[in-house]
Amino acid sequence: MPLQSRHLLGLDGVKREDIQLILDTAVSFREVLDRPIKKVPPLQGKTIANLFFENSTRTRLSFELAERRLSADVLGFAATGSSVTKGETLKDTARNIEAMKVDMVVMRHSAAGAPHYLSRVIEANVVNAGDGAHEHPTQALLDMYTIREKLGRLEGLHVCIVGDISHSRVARSNIYGLLTMGARVSVCGPATMIPREIEKLGVGVFHHIDDVLPHVDVLNVLRIQLERDAGRLFPTIREYHNFYGITRQRLEKAGRNITIMHPGPINRDVEISAEVADSEDSVILQQVLNGVAVRMAVLYLLSTKN
Amino acid sequence: MRKTKAQIIDEAGFERTITRLAHEILERNKGAENIVIVGIRTRGEFIARRIASVIERVEGCTLSIGSLDITLYRDDLLGKLEQPQLKGTDILFDLNGRDVILIDDVLFTGRTIRAALDELIDLGRPRTIQLAVLVDRGHRQLPIRADYVGKNVPTMAAESIRVHMREVDGEDAVLLMHPEIPE
């Protein structure tokens, strides 16, 4: 069964079988990453453009590595120093790139819906690598892959996402994906960081981290935007750490093994203590490695779908 | 729908063919010392396990057995075929310097074997790669031949060979099928 769509724009509305197919396919690519020659030929002759209109290091590197390991030709594009700063519209930029016979476009953009728009004006397959505060589907897929790898399943697990849910595309994609896969999802953070009416998506809402910890199997700890949010969404970094920082003491008090995830980059001793980030229960580095395999699976499935 | 034209190998013949292939492999390699067994998914994998168990019994040794999913190395992957499901390659041992016995059920165009050779060589540098197949039905499109053949079966290109195995089909048999009749 091939994927239902020829683009991956988000996980909202994506069927369970499709998520399952991507995760299962990623297992094969994960094996490739352990080989002496970490490269397979299925995308030979395909060209993929990475359009990053917003800064990104790890997502961009992860996609680029995934593309090269599938033997695709890779075009890089960064907004700074490009025609975007000269006033070119998104449509014109994309059309110009497409005129160079690109088969696939991976895009990150600060505007929610930008990849959806792109998918309507160009022929190439479009993969959303993060659009504003909307979705970041490959991050959620790699998170789900990592949970499944560590705990053997998704169904019935309780995953809590901690941090700035309102501005997080990672949270949104995780919520859609995890609920579809039958997991329980809750969010935790100060009221300023929790979108109103989020319960309507089917998630539990907590404002005190110690209330939810005794019930969760997985914690997905989001990065705090220090520069932007201190003094605005919470009073001080120290106060955020005291109320929401994930520390060993907190986890011990919860009295159960909780798998710790973080999409990175980490602010050590702000949203998560260095000790917890480096602990046995942390799968943060596995997430990074699995990200390459999951992105290979997405690119492979989209490009071989006819 | 395809109709059966003839049974090429029956239950007892199947077992004897496997046993003979195992002995030929042992004879050519003067024992099992440097041998590793790799089956091409799906039925090649089962044949590989059968051949390996005969070798292990005869030699009193334990062999390294792996399976190869050649999907990612196919030359028609971006063509118009149905998207194939990846089953994964599972070779948990070092191929460097070993004699790899590559096993498949049916040798036909040779394209699967080409893909398998490319994948094996990406996994390491074996001393030799030897090919064993249950049935060689001819019609090669690439310069590839098998080192060990269970049975040579002359066929027409439009016919097909169906290999049944206990592990998945409930019986051991090789059937020659008539060309497909459009419904």
This prediction's pTM: 0.91
Say if B161 falls within a structural domain: no
pLDDT tens digits, residue range B74-124? Answer: 988 876 567 778 888 999 999 999 999 999 999 999 999 999 999 999 999
A211 touches chain B (CB under 8 A): no
Token pair recorded at residue A269: 């001793």
Q: Nearest CA to B50 among B26, B14, B87, B24?
A: B14
Say if A1 falls within a structural domain: no
SS3 B47: helix
Distance of residue B70 Cα from the nearest chain A Cα, in angstroms: 10
pLDDT above 60 (res A81): no
ipTM of this complex = 0.81
Of A25, A35, A304, Cβ closest to residue B122: A35
Say if B6 falls within a structural domain: no
Instruction: Give the 3-state DSSP-derived string for chain A, with helices as H, strands as E and coil as C.
Output: CCCCCCCECCCCCCCHHHHHHHHHHHHHHHHHCCCCCCCCCCCCCCEEEEEECCCCCHHHHHHHHHHHHCCCEEEEEECCCCHHHHCCCHHHHHHHHHCCCCCEEEEEECCCCHHHHHHHHCCCEEEEEEECCCECHHHHHHHHHHHHHHHCCCCCCEEEEECCCCCCHHHHHHHHHHHHCCCEEEEECCHHHCCCCHHHHCCEEECCHHHHHHHCCEEEECCCCHHHHECCCECCHHHHHHHHCECHHHHHHHCCCCEEECCCCCCECCCECHHHHCCCCECHHHHHHHHHHHHHHHHHHHHCCC
Looking at every residue in chain A, the average pLDDT score rounds to: 93
Percent of chain A with pLDDT over 90: 82
Q: What average pLDDT score do residues A163-180 get?
A: 97
Say if B116 falls within a structural domain: yes
Domain membership of residue B145 as a residue range: 13-72+86-155
**A147 and A253 both lie in a single domain:** yes
At a CB cut-off of 8 Å and minimum separation 6, what does A86 contact? Answer: none
Residue A53 bridge partners (DSSP): none
Of B73, B89, B122, Cβ closest to residue A37: B122
A58 is an active site residue: yes
Mutate to test the interface with B, among A25, A29, A40 (most CBs of B within 10 A): A40
**A85 and A186 both lie in a single domain:** no
Per the CB < 8 A criterion, the answer to whether A248 and A272 are in contact is no
pLDDT tens digits, residue range A261-283? Answer: 999 999 999 999 999 999 999 99
Residue A29: which CATH number?
3.40.50.1370
Say if A275 falls within a structural domain: yes
pLDDT of residue B77: 81
> Which parts of chain B sit beneath pLDDT 70?
79-81, 183
Report chain A residues whose CB lies below 8 A from the CB of B71. Answer: 42
Residue B32: which CATH number?
3.40.50.2020
B92 touches chain A (CB under 8 A): no
Say if B136 falls within a structural domain: yes
Q: Give residues 16 to 35 of A whose Cβ lies within 8 Å of B.
A: 24-25, 27-28, 31-32, 35
Say if A96 falls within a structural domain: yes
Report chain A residues whose CB lies below 8 A from the CB of B67. Answer: none
| Domain count of the fold of chain B | 1
- Confidence at A80, pLDDT banded by 50, 70, 90: low
pLDDT tens digits, residue range A232-248? Answer: 888 999 999 999 999 99
Domain membership of residue A184 as a residue range: 137-285
Of A28, A45, A305, Cβ closest to residue B83: A305
**A245 and A198 both lie in a single domain:** yes
Mutate to test the interface with B, among A302, A304, A306 (most CBs of B within 10 A): A304
Say if A241 falls within a structural domain: yes
**A40 and A73 both lie in a single domain:** yes
Say if A90 falls within a structural domain: yes
Say if B105 falls within a structural domain: yes
- Confidence at A85, pLDDT banded by 50, 70, 90: low
**A103 and A171 both lie in a single domain:** no
Say if B26 falls within a structural domain: yes
Q: Nearest CA to B18 among B163, B128, B145?
A: B163
Report chain B residues whose CB lies below 8 A from the CB of A40. Answer: 72-73, 119, 122
| Domain count of the fold of chain A | 2
Q: Which of A60, A109, A134, A136 is catalytic?
A: A136
Say if B77 falls within a structural domain: no
pLDDT of residue B2: 86
Distance CA A57, CA A68 (A): 16
Say if B8 falls within a structural domain: no
